């Protein structure tokens, strides 16, 4: 799970940076901000146990953490420029 979190962190960060520098559509900076936020959320330094920075009272257990990660993956299309689809 930690490897998947690292892959998502790197992918979201690099995609956000590339959109920030050379966005090819209107609203690319907003999408880049959202991808940067997703990269921050999926960073294993913040959420992965046992060396995570989250206190034990806020720590999310195994199955719930998996479901939150799955929800994060499934919610990423919400950041895409849906205005261009219409």
CB atoms within 10 A of CB 54: 12
Q: What is the pTM of this model?
A: 0.56
| Nearest alpha-carbon partner for 40 in 68, 71, 8 | 8
Q: Looking at residue 64, what is its pLDDT?
A: 76
Give per-10-residue mean pLDDT for the chain (86 aa): 80 87 83 86 72 60 74 74 61
Find all residues with CB under 8 Å of 15, minimum gap 6, and list them.
32, 35
| Nearest alpha-carbon partner for 12 in 37, 48, 47, 46 | 37
């Amino acid at each position: 799970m930690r490897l998947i979190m690292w892959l998502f962190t790197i992918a979201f960060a690099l995609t956000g940076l590339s959109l920030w520098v050379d966005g090819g559509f209107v609203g690319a900076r907003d999408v880049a901000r959202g991808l940067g936020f997703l990269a921050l959320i999926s960073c294993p330094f913040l959420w992965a146990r046992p060396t995570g920075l989250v206190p034990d009272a806020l720590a999310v257990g195994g199955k719930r953490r998996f479901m939150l990660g799955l929800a994060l993956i499934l919610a990423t299309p919400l950041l895409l420029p849906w205005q261009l689809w219409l």
